[in-house]
Amino acid sequence: MANERKWFDVHDPEPGIFIIEEPHHVERVKSHLNIGEREAILIDTGMGVANIRDVVEFLNSLPVVVVNSHAHWDHVGGNHLFDEIWIHPAEAGDLAKGYPNTRMRGWFGPSSLTGPLPDDVNLDTLAIPPSRATGMLHEGQVFDLGNRVLEVLHCPGHSPGGVVLLDRANGILFSTDVAYAGYLYVYAGDWLQTYHQSLTRLAHLAPELRVLYPSHNERSISPGLLPRMVEALERVIDSHASDRVDGDVAMYDYDGVGVYLFPARAGK
């Protein structure tokens, strides 16, 4: 597991939860392993640079179910290493496409890397193989791991099939790419309104939450950030002037929350 140790950092913020982080890329992607009494849930499989299954099996001996929060490249890279994969039907078809080397190379340039790639990774051949969903997530679906229950909440906006996972009993929200510290990626038009609705829903849960574990940047964030994210999007919706512009991207800063507003787009 030498290359895996070079690429991944593992953190255990509380019993039964491991954060498997990829710290040598600016995205600082995090996959979350939840270990119960009967089985384990792995939320996302990372960038596909090193073998995340080897890390999971080092940490856990129970059967593992992969739950993809969405189908973007940095969350499905290790899917092909696992047998059971769940994703929202809005993005299930994307798994079969994989990500070819022509796309992957652009995401691993010098400006994106903050540390070395593993010795056996060749940027001229790096690709994410196709994978296949074995189950379809739906709103309110529950995964009972034995001593931990995770509930699926469909929260589109960042992507059409984006989900978060809620552990109500322990006040934990695995907020994936829906809510994290840093600049939220938002698209103009209907996507902006949809994202606002999803964040508003999560903000209403904030009083019941103890901690958020997101997929990027800080490993944990306060539920108190959720209402501020909603307010930040409301500034954009209300056509407040942006703080600055870079090309066709408008940037907003509001009370510790940032928004990148991209032009409206079709599809994903």
CB 38 within 8 A of CB 224: no
Q: What percent of the chain has pLDDT over 90?
A: 94
Q: Mean per-residue pLDDT for 150-165? A: 97
Q: What percent of the chain has pLDDT over 70?
A: 97
Rounded to 5 degrees, what angle do the CA atoms 154, 204, 165 make? 35
Topology of domain 2-183+208-222 in CATH is Metallo-beta-lactamase; Chain A (3.60.15)
Residue 268 has pLDDT above 50, yes or no: no
Residue 3 has pLDDT above 70, yes or no: no
* Half-sphere exposure (Cβ direction) of 38: Cα atoms closer than 13 Å: 7
Residue 1 confidence (pLDDT): 62
pTM for this entry:
0.96
Q: How far is CA 102 from CA 47, 81, 88, 126, in A?
A: 15, 22, 26, 9
Residue 215 confidence (pLDDT): 98
Q: Mean per-residue pLDDT for 72-88? A: 98
Tell me the per-residue pLDDT of 207-255, one tens digit each, with 9 for 90 and over: 999 999 999 999 999 999 999 999 999 999 998 999 999 999 999 999 9
Average pLDDT score over the chain: 95
Tell me the per-residue pLDDT of 92-103, one tens digit each, with 9 for 90 and over: 999 999 999 999
Q: Mean per-residue pLDDT for 47-72? A: 97
Tell me the per-residue pLDDT of 195-208, one tens digit each, with 9 for 90 and over: 999 999 999 999 99
Element (H, E) at 236: helix 225-237
Q: How far is CA 55 from CA 2, 5, 7, 59, 223, in A?
A: 10, 8, 11, 6, 29
Residue 241 confidence (pLDDT): 92
Report the range of poorest mean pLDDT among 3-12, 87-96, 125-134: 3-12
